[in-house]
Amino acid sequence: MSHPHSGTAIVIGGGPAGLMAAETLAHAGIHVTVYDRMPSLARKFLLAGRGGLNLTHSEPLERFVRAYGERGENLRPFIEAFPPEALRAWSADLGVPTFVGSSGRVFPESFKASPLLRAWLRRLESLGARVQYRHRFEGFDAQGGVLFTNAQGAQIPVAADAVVLALGGASWPRLGSDGGWTQALAASGIIVAPLRPSNCGFEIGWSPQVQRFAGAPLKNVALSFGQRTVRGEAMIATYGLEGGAIYALSGPLREAIAQDGSAMLSLDLRPDVSAAALAAKLAVDRGKASLSNFLRKVAGLTPQATALLREAGPLPAEPALIAARIKHLPLKLKRPRPIARSISSAGGISFDEVDRGLMLTRMPGVFVAGEMLDWEAPTGGYLLQACFSTGFAAGAAAAKWIARNDR
């Protein structure tokens, strides 16, 4: 259904949250312009699609919301208003159907982000949305207008009836979201929690014996920290560990390191086998076999897993003690990887600063979406879903704000 164009809005940030806000505004008949500091849009979105674009997850909504931890209830109304089913329908309407993988994750049938982005940008253009590239957000002027620095270095003010901020977090800054907006918002009195790495690897400080296995996977392992245990895969890196299983624990691990200076992670190399069963297998005579070959044949350990066992000190002779180490290998994490190398970031604008439409209560007519808000989530479709859902909510609320003020 078409609308007579009425009112103007600017969206700052051309990632998924910003583009969804722009589309929602344009559908409502608003003249909308997207501003982005890069020469092209959605660069991080395209990078995420290189390994197969995980758009969302198919699990029940109650379980889905729990993935956001203590921010789940803050995000619930936005995810309920634009849930995974709506995101899949939206993608299909763009000519990019999706499917549910064996893990419950949802992917485009092409597995790529670029076809989806191209179709999306064509739709935005057909709706009359405009894009201004190479414009860096600098803050607000005394009249409430938005200040940008353009490609020529000139500072220009832009006024609009509503503004949607969707500048992202601070991970992968070379792709566009460098977190530079935090100072401008804090200067306006907005409470902004410091941006911190999320879904990141952790530094351990391996010996050369383990470093030589950099890039080797640890498949079907379990990582435990506190009361949480995560099954999945990790990967040995020269600096420590990375991969999905450790990303899922990155929040509590990061906070423990910030408080205590380090964190002790427990690695179970054979989660499907009990310690007693392992001990019984290890009690057989290994004859002339090397320890590494013996552990591979009897306990199913890869060479990299055996190297990790040795990293914790000389291996004991007693089968029960070797089994205990296989089941509970302690790893001391020294620090998270830098935020520039993280998949996402935690921190951002407090939910106490926005109303139910994601408008800043201190700055009427200014709305916030995506990773600028203070939430974090594991990989698996949760990151993108929250960006799409909050973008939709901010765009819809901004359109209502403009309509109400017009009247």
> Checking phi first, is residue 206 left (phi over 0); if not, alpha (psi -120 to 50) or beta?
beta
> Beta strands of 201-239 (E only): which ranges?
202-203, 217-225, 228-236
Q: Specify whether domain 8-197+342-406 bears CATH 3.50.50.60.
A: yes
**In b/e form, how buried is each residue of 93-108, taking b as 16+ CB within 10 angstroms?**
ebebebeeeeeebbbb
Q: What is the pLDDT of residue 144?
A: 84
The CA distance from 213 to 264, in Å, is 21
The total number of residues shown for the chain amounts to: 407
Domain regions of the chain by residue span: 8-197+342-406, 202-336
CA 321 from centroid of its chain's CA atoms: 39
Q: What is the pLDDT of residue 70?
A: 94
**In b/e form, how buried is each residue of 65-78, taking b as 16+ CB within 10 angstroms?**
bebbeebbebbbeb
The CA distance from 341 to 170, in Å, is 10
Query: How do strand 98-100 and strand 155-158 relate by DSSP bridges?
Result: unpaired
Q: Kindly give the interhelix angle for 382-406 and 16-27, rounded to the nearest 10 degrees.
A: 30
- Read off the pLDDT of residues 46-74 as tens digits, 9 standing for 90 and up: 998 887 899 999 999 999 999 999 999 99
Place of tokens 């197969």: 52
The CA distance from 117 to 41, in Å, is 9
The CA distance from 68 to 73, in Å, is 8
- Read off the pLDDT of residues 180-190 as tens digits, 9 standing for 90 and up: 999 999 988 99
Q: Global pTM?
A: 0.93
192, 348 Cβ separation under 8 angstroms: yes
The CA distance from 83 to 77, in Å, is 10
Q: What is the pLDDT of residue 51?
A: 76
Report, as ranges of residue numbers, the positions in the chain whose pLDDT lies below 70: 1-5, 407
164, 9 Cβ separation under 8 angstroms: yes
Q: What is the pLDDT of residue 407?
A: 64
